[in-house]
Amino acid sequence: MPHETLDTVVSEIAEEMRARPDRGKVASYIPELGRVDPNQFAITVVTQDGHVASGGQCDIPFSIQSVSKVFTLTLALGLAGNRLWNRVGREPSGSPFNSIVQLEHERGIPRNPFINAGAIVVTDHVLAGHQPREAIGEILRFMQFLADDESIYIDHDVAASEEAHGFNNRALANFMKGFGALDNPVEYTLGVYFHHCAIAMTCRQLATAGRFLANNGIRPETGYSVVTPERARRINAIMLTCGHYDGSGEFAYRVGLPGKSGVGGAILAIVPGRASICVWSPGLDTTGNSHLGRIALEMLTTRLGWTVF
């Protein structure tokens, strides 16, 4: 597809999103996120050949929240390999992102690595006996490396806000610890989890960081292999089936791409072999996924015919 066509579609979508009155509701259970202005929208598409198409406020940093779970999963698989799957499943949960209900029947093994319980187990593997500070640094450097941008930082106000209000995550982690599902002290694992959720990135940086997933595990500009092609395919599969929690079926139906959302309002979507896309709009729908982000992606894939199906 000519770059001009992509540029036009992306700017049209940004313009349509700017004007829409329905914007969803910002997450308020993390008070610091409740202060974000919902009247913001950004979209960046980075194609395989390195072309960048952008619209809206692409250079404003936002809290990536659960989008970070794609990258901690990548790191944990690198460290633990397929042993990780003894501790966390690969099935959609059909439940909200912060649900605890399945954990009791399923003996502390979360359904998948993207619901909060599963992501806490994944973080426990990244921590792997190190000091929380070291693991947080490792995750941050990984994001800087993938986005090729050392300015990416952790928003400590967001981390502190979640730390102070993370009652639900504390319940999940303690419950799993009771089953022997976490190796490290609960507060260590949660400390790392809260901080990687609080990484701040722009739309442009996040789309760039996702490129290896669209390119068989290789960072296209350098030829550096981040993961094997098989692993990239599998991470994409989990994004497709579990990346939007109890909204995953609807997202696959409407957008037709692997995607991962965060309560900061970002969605990272992957078009294998073609492009990495980030959309951001802070207002959420009832499943905790970006309202306008999903609509924008549906428009993009419909207009460009980009889908994995």
Q: Is 163 labelled a binding residue?
A: no
Q: Is 253 labelled a binding residue?
A: no
Q: Residue 148: left if φ>0, alpha if ψ -120 to 50, beta else—which one?
A: left
Instruction: Give, in order, the Cα–Cα distances in Å from 304 to each of 62, 282, 299.
Output: 27, 25, 8
Q: Pick the catalytic residue: 126, 245, 276, 279?
A: 245
Gap between the Cα atoms of 39 and 17, Å rounded: 10
**DSSP structure class, residue 109:** -
Residue with Cβ nearer ligand DON (17 or 33): 33
Which residues, numbered 218-237, are part of the site for ligand DON (CB under 6 A)?
Answer: none
Least distance to ligand DON from the beta carbon of 42, Å? 17
Q: Pick the catalytic residue: 46, 67, 69, 276?
A: 69
Q: Is 69 a catalytic residue?
A: yes
Sole binder of ligand DON in the list 54, 65, 74, 123 (CB under 6 A): 65
Q: Is 66 labelled a binding residue?
A: yes
Q: Where are the alpha helices (DSSP H) in the chain?
A: 3-19, 31-34, 68-80, 101-105, 116-127, 132-147, 156-165, 167-178, 186-197, 203-209, 211-214, 229-242, 248-254, 291-304
Do the beta carbons of residue 232 and residue 212 sit within 8 Å? yes
Q: Rule CB under 6 A: say whether 293 interacts with ligand DON.
A: no
Q: Rule CB under 6 A: say whether 251 interacts with ligand DON.
A: no
Nearest Cα residue to 274 out of 215, 199, 202: 215
- Report the residue closest to ligand DON, judged by CB: 66
Residue with Cβ nearer ligand DON (87 or 294): 294
Give the per-residue contact string, 182-211, with ligand DON (x = CB under 6 A; - = no): ---------------x--------------
Structure tokens belonging to residue 82: 């397929």
- The residue ranges that bind ligand DON (CB under 6 A) are 65-66, 97-98, 116, 162, 169, 197, 261-263, 288-289
- Provide the annotated binding site for substrate: 66, 116, 162, 169, 193, 245, 263
